[in-house]
Amino acid sequence: MTKENIFGDSVSSIADDTLTKRIELLGKIFAQLLNDHKDFSGYFQHMLNEMSSETKAVLFLKLSRWLSNQSKDFEKEIDSLYESGKLLNVFESVLANWNQDVMLSIAARKSRIRKVYATQLFPSLRSTSVPVSVIHQESHHANHADMVYVCGMASASNAKKIFEFGTYRGQTTCGLAAVCQDAQVYSLNLPPEADPRYAPYIGMYIKDSPDRDRINQIFSDSRTFDTQPYRQLMDYIFIDADHSYEGVKNDTEKALQLLKPGGVIVWHDYAAKSPGVLDYIAEFSQQRPLFHLRKTCLAVYIDGVDPETLEIDSMDDSLEDHEYGD
């Protein structure tokens, strides 16, 4: 396998000898990886086929930029890792991550959704305090820190009434109450008897929370939940319950009934692992454009704000931005 048929003509035309050597080393890694894992060949090709030519070009340019910024000893370092076999394990993870990115890219092409960093959308997050306890550190998901943003954005929105679809242990529920000291928090979940597997864990954090008097647990199937007593009262709504297409569609429709003018809706698990969420968000965004917070699995709707025309401040300069680009 040559570097040309891995990276395409744009990269093979680069004249720099050092960069060429680095690309050849990566070519060796991919060749070995595909030789050891025959199933990766079709898998990797499928990912490339799904990606637009523009997306592929951006990916290759980012890779070239990163390679050109590495140390002079990079060849020795990567060659040593390659010989030890450790680098193949890294690239297996990289391919899996790329697959996630491709699925998000495909969903984004069907959506009206704008990528921003959380602090670009809510500048006051830079000075917002959120307790470490909101991080789901024992979660097996890579996005366990997303709840820092979920709670922080509620505070940045100055939310006084907050509604949550999906209580589970009540960890995020308590976090929302902790960072919004003047807020009433309402959290909806199936009754424990309706789901014995989750029953022992539902709301377990709430009973010991110092803010429990401002937390209102509602036990109901969201499909039959009557929104009438809460209509247009909620400043901030977090949806993290049934991740099927039908489930997130139902919860979103109910959320829109609850939302106060100018309010905020946040969806969790806007990610490849939740195709139902991806599909519904793509559909929903055609009528109501959304934001996707970069480096998170969060999608955001702000009533009265047009993501396509909103002026966003640029992020602070960084080495990572120079090496990897946007």
Note the pLDDT tens digit of each residue in 24-43. Answer: 666 666 666 666 656 555 55
Name the H helices within 85-162: 86-109, 118-121, 146-156
For the segment(s) 113-302, the CATH number from 3.40.50.150, 3.40.50.300, 3.40.50.920, 3.90.650.10 is 3.40.50.150
Per-residue confidence band for 51, with pLDDT thresholds at 50, 70 and 90: very low
Q: How far apart are CA 266 and CA 298, in angstroms?
A: 7
In angstroms, the Cα distances linking 85 to 79, 81, 90 are 10, 6, 10
Domain boundaries, the chain: 3-109, 113-302
Q: HEC states along 43-103?
A: HHHHHHHHCCHHHHHHHHHHHHHHHHCCCCCHHHHHHHHHHHCHHHHHHHHHHHHHHHHHH
Residue 79's CB is within 10 A of a number of other CB atoms, namely 14
The whole model's pTM is what?
Answer: 0.74
- pLDDT exceeds 60 at position 200: yes
Contact 239, 156 (CB under 8 A): no
Work out whether the CA dihedral 169, 126, 272, 142 comes out positive or negative.
negative
Angle subtended at Cα 252 by Cα 276 and Cα 175, rounded to the nearest 5 degrees: 95
Q: What is the DSSP string of 264-281?
A: EEEES--STT-HHHHHHH
pLDDT at 318 over 60: yes
Higher pLDDT, 315 or 53: 315
Q: What average pLDDT score do residues 110-124 get?
A: 93
At residue 56, the pLDDT reads 53
pLDDT digits (tens, 9 = 90+) for 203-244: 999 999 999 999 999 999 999 999 999 999 999 999 999 999
Q: 140 pLDDT exceeds 70?
A: no
